[in-house]
Amino acid sequence: MFYLMIIDSPEEKRVFVVIYEKYRYLMMKVAHDVLKDNFLAEDAVHEAFIKIAHNMQNIHDVESVETKRYLIIVAKNAAIDIYRSRKKQMKEEMFIDELGEDAGPITYLKTDIDNEILDILKNLPVKYRDVFLLKYSNHMSNAEISKILNISEGTIRQRIARGKLIIKEEIERLEGK
């Protein structure tokens, strides 16, 4: 169980295993009720357990109603996050055969812009890209990033600001084409 690598304390690891064994099917049901898809529900439960592993200090008694409520809320929120991102993705996906003949160039333009923005992010210098990925993809705080990268929070803030400037300049350059 790779979740245990996130947890430091042996006692918290033991509690996590008990929670996992006791509540994973309940959490799966909660996620499935939101998503109506077994595979997506599994993804939601996986995300929920990652969040739980990061927040084991919030769990005091495995058998308590508060713990059960907390686990249900985390699973439901993870499922809702997946639902929202899938819904947004579905809105953005336009299939050529569903579009009118005059809408084709718009689709290509949007795809080109999306690809160019992804290229900008991929081509950021590594020290900025790593901070951006941790901050905006993993939703980590500056303090958490500071611990992971072993640099000060001030340096994190500076790299975010400089990375944003690089991105802004590149977008302006693309718009000027």
Measured at the CA of 142, the angle between CA 149 and CA 121, to 5 degrees, comes to 75
The residue ranges of the chain whose pLDDT is under 70 are 1, 88-115, 177
User: Over the chain, what is the mean pLDDT?
Assistant: 81
Q: How far apart are CA 45 and CA 7, in angstroms?
A: 17
Per-residue pLDDT at 102: 47
Stretch (H or E) spanning 149:
helix 142-149
- Which of 149-158's residues contact partners 24+ apart within 8 Å by CB, and which partners? 156/131
Distances, alpha carbon 54 to alpha carbons 17, 36, 108, 163, in Å: 14, 27, 41, 27
For residue 119, the one-letter residue type is D
Tens of pLDDT, residues 104-151: 444 444 445 556 777 787 788 888 888 887 787 777 788 888 877 788
